[in-house]
Structure 1
Amino acid sequence: MTGALVLAGCSSTSEPESPPVDASALAGSVTENAVVAHLEELQTIADDNDGNRAAGTPGYEASVDYVAQVLTDNGFDVQTPEFEFHNFDVAAEKLMSRDRDVEVRALSYSPSTGPEGLTARLVPARQDETPGCEATDYDGLDVNGAIVLVDRGICPFSAKQQIAAERGASAVIVVNNEDGPMSGGTLGDPSVGKIPTGGVSRADGDALRQGDGDVTLTLDTSTETSTSRNVIAQTTTGSTDDVVMVGAHLDSVPEGPGINDNGTGVAAILETAVQLGGSPDADNAVRFAFWGAEELGLLGSEAYVTGLSEDERNDIALYLNFDMLGSENAGYLTYDGDNSDNVGEGPGPEGSAGIERTFVEYLGKNGIAANGTDFDGRSDYGPFIEQKIPSGGVFSGADDKKTAEEAQKWGGTPDAVFDKHYHSPTDTLANIDRAALAKNASAVAYAVGVYAESLAGPNGVPTGADREKARAAQ
């Protein structure tokens, strides 16, 4: 099977025996105890499998089996399509300049220097509006056999290293364009990697640019190709021309069990599915997705979305994403569909503003004044937004710090990260804010109920010809 499985056409038009979906009742049916019971199962799976549920591990496969069985038992049409992914591992990353250790991060899928590293001249590329993005940036510079130092910006990392490689460079070091170390950088795919490529902070890049002589770069990396599975489950009722898609990533990082990140999102949408049932009396089909290999770069959701035909993508009315709902120092954040916060990436596709209002209004009625959070591309909504599918969700915060204003509004500790257990062995059930999880899980169910019943109204999303026009225009 491929990641493109869509379950199209599996909903019927026959009248179900269940009562019509009521969003408020659905929200009330998703209880804290039931959600925590799913987390207990995921914690046990991690405990039994080397402490994690990472893609490509027995812990992940056991997580897939658990989720798929719960959905099957509750009347859903369930599939677990496979997709290919690349597992990138770094055994060592080190940069020495004049006997000084410089923090360097290997970009994902960087070719390896080998464990011995390589020593060569450091040659800074020109600093201009398109640093290292054009071959002419190296005119007059002798970069043959050298390690090139180039600023981040404008073109992809893969293009910077390819151009430097074509000019004869032996490696590339990319200088971050903001404070702090380079994190999350990637060449995109193992096949495009030509020479070892790492990243350093802006401050370290400035210092390196002032030096001269040789540097020694060690990026001891390896990439292995493997397969993983998504879990896709759809109601047997409701229009398949207007699918409400709901997703959460199922994998953890290798360092820990991933109970907040993202057992909480999984548990919330899984219990929503249980309470909704496989054959609800709903106008629109609901498709639940549990994504694999998100922690390796949104790979499961990317494989799924890119594998759809244009018609299959147009059948998805909206996408709701849930990633971290019970952070220990919890926030109450909704994806900023209308860009009212004016931070970062701008608004989501048309309809995203209405999705945001649905969450804000529901939380507000329950005494919670939510803040916006940017569509920063760090979770599985990314591939959907790229295809202009309206998206939204709630989020309790990760490694950003809670402000004093937010602490006053929601409680918790100001000037401390939302989740100090993020991506660590201590991301366990013991470190979940259960009250925050309960409130967010009820918001999950409410939004699913709203859109399962209707896509219309002031918080609705485009349908029919309006949908095609909106997606073609953006």
Structure 2
Amino acid sequence: MQIMVQDTHYFKQILVLFPGTTNSTVLFSAHFDSVPGSPGASDDGAAITVLLQLARLKSLSQTKSRNSFLLFFNNGEEIGLAGSEALLNSKNYTALVSNIKVFANFEGGGTGGKPILFRTTSSQLTQAYADLPYPHMSSFGGDLLGLLGSYTDYQNYVKAGIPGFDVAYYENRRFYHTPDDSLNNISPSDVQAMGSNALALSKTLLNAEWIDNLKIESKNAFYDHFGGYYPVLISPTFQWSLACVLILFFIASLVYGYFYLYVPFKIPDSLVDPSIKSKKTYFGAHLLIFAFQYYSLGRQR
């Protein structure tokens, strides 16, 4: 086990490396800073607790894994993802960073609840997460966080060309970055869920040869079935097929609506659903259809 302290002159951060039989490295990352006035129990104290427990368990193991294991307790996340950027751009850690084949970032976008996988760089990684004890997942969450203006270290790792996962707490968003992000609003079972998943994920990745060949793919869509443990992975082919069907339906419904709303007596009332007789309802429905089209196509960008 090697413990390293990176001093950026503005802050310090800690790296713990467990060498494997190869230099291929699995990175697990969490940040220990929080915004002023917030205890940061979920953002990101719980994840730090998980990484500390992983370090304890790994240090007790007598068996070397194939891949090296790097635990990154980073700082400065709340000031523009400065900690991960400092590591990735440091000349002192160039060799270490170049060996990283895959990462998992553990975050808090809310306070407590079931941690969710909301971004990943490939369907292969999504499937690996689906096999964990508590595989709660939704790719819609990544888009939603973008709309809310929330960012995580995931962005920096992917920008550096490293494939990986982004996992976070998301419930009770109203307590996020407030004094109420405290131990009162996260339960031991919430921490245990993240810990169980992180431990199982580390066991999967640390002995996997396939991480050497991982690539960052186009966005993939995934979700679990009504919050249960039945993940649904949507292939790119199916996404495009669904998008094409929605576009055709959108065009057909526009033509249908035009003749009904603007060309008198072309279509009998008996053939028209009463629910679309209101123009507001009609165009509201089209906005909803367009939103689904945009999301389906957007996952491919």
Could you say which TM-score interval applies, normalised by the shorter chain? Answer: 0.5 to 0.7
User: What corresponds to 1:268 in structure 2?
Assistant: 50
Cα distance, 1:369 vs structure 2 = 4.6
C-alpha contact 2:115 2:167 (8 A) present in aligned 1 = yes
Relative distance call for 1:453 and 1:302 in structure 2 (3 A) is: same
What is the aligned partner in structure 2 of residue 411 from structure 1? none
142, 161, 170: which is aligned to 1:374?
A: 142
More helix by share: 2
What is the aligned counterpart of 2:40 among 258, 261, 269?
Answer: 258
Residue from 104, 110, 127 that aligns with 1:320: 104
Q: Indicate yes or no: 2:156 matched with 1:383.
A: yes
1:395 is aligned to: 168
Find 2:126's aligned residue among 337, 356, 370. Answer: 356
Q: Kindly provide the CA deviation profile for residues 121-169 of structure 1, in whole angstroms up to 9, marking residues without a partner as x.
A: xxxxxxxxxxxxxxxxxxxxxxxxxxxxxxxxxxxxxxxxxxxxxxxxx
Q: Is the 8 A contact 2:111 2:181 kept in 1?
A: no
Seen in structure 2, the aligned counterparts of structure 1 residues 271 and 325 have a Cα distance that, compared at 3 Å, is farther
- C-alpha deviations, 1:438-468, integer Å up to 9, x for none? 1121001111111111132xxxx3x2xx56x
Q: Cα 1:391–1:254, aligned 2, differ >3 Å: closer, same or farther?
A: same
CA drift at 1:325: 8.6
- Give the TM-score of the pair, scaled to structure 1: 0.41
Q: Distance in 1 between matches of 2:69 and 2:183?
A: 28
Amino acid at match of 1:285: S
Deviation at 1:360, TM superposition (A): 2.2
Partners of 1:449 and 1:436 in 2: CA distance: 21
Amino acid at match of 2:137: A
Verify the 8 A CA contact 2:31 2:75 in the aligned structure 1.
yes
Aligned residues: 210
Separation in structure 1 between the aligned mates of residue 123 and residue 51 of structure 2, nearest angstrom? 21
What is the CA distance between 1:236 and its match in structure 2? 3.7
- Cα separation, 2, equivalents of 1:302 and 1:450: 27
**Aligned position for 1:77:** 2
* Counterpart-to-counterpart distance in 1, 2:131 and 2:86: 33
Structure 1: stretches of 5+ with no match in the other structure: 1-75, 85-226, 338-347, 398-416
Assess if the C-alpha contact under 8 Å between 1:78 and 1:231 holds in 2. Answer: yes
State yes or no: 1:281 paired with 2:281.
no
Say which SS state the counterpart of residue 172 (structure 2) adopts: coil
The whole-number CA distance in structure 1 between the counterparts of 2:52 and 2:41 is 14
Using a 3 Å threshold, how does the CA distance of structure 1 residues 310 and 83 change in structure 2: closer, same or farther? closer
Q: Is the 8 A contact 1:356 1:393 kept in 2?
A: no
In structure 1, distance between residues paired with 2:128 and 2:189: 21
Tell me the CA shift for residue 257 of structure 1: 1.5
User: Secondary structure in 2 aligned to 1:239?
Assistant: coil
- After TM superposition, the structure 1 = structure 2 runs for residues 41-440 of structure 1, keeping only pairs within 5 Å, are 76-84=1-9, 227-240=10-23, 242-277=24-59, 280-307=63-90, 312-324=96-108, 327-328=111-112, 330-337=113-120, 348=121, 352-363=122-133, 366=134, 369-372=136-139, 373-374=141-142, 376=146, 378-397=151-170, 418-440=172-194
TM-score, structure 2 normalization: 0.62
C-alpha change, 1:442 and 1:325, in structure 2 (3 Å) is farther
C-alpha deviation, 1:326, in angstroms: 8.1
Residue pair 1:326, 1:433 contacting (<8 A) in 2 also: no
Alpha-carbon RMSD: 2.7
Q: Deviation per CA, 1:97-126: give whole Å up to 9, x if none.
A: xxxxxxxxxxxxxxxxxxxxxxxxxxxxxx
Which residue number corresponds to residue 234 of structure 2?
A: none
Q: Tell me, which stretches of 5 or more residues in structure 2 are unaligned?
A: 217-301
Q: Structure 2 CA distance, aligned partners of 1:292 and 1:439?
A: 24
Q: How does 1:7-26 map to 2 (within 5 A)?
A: none
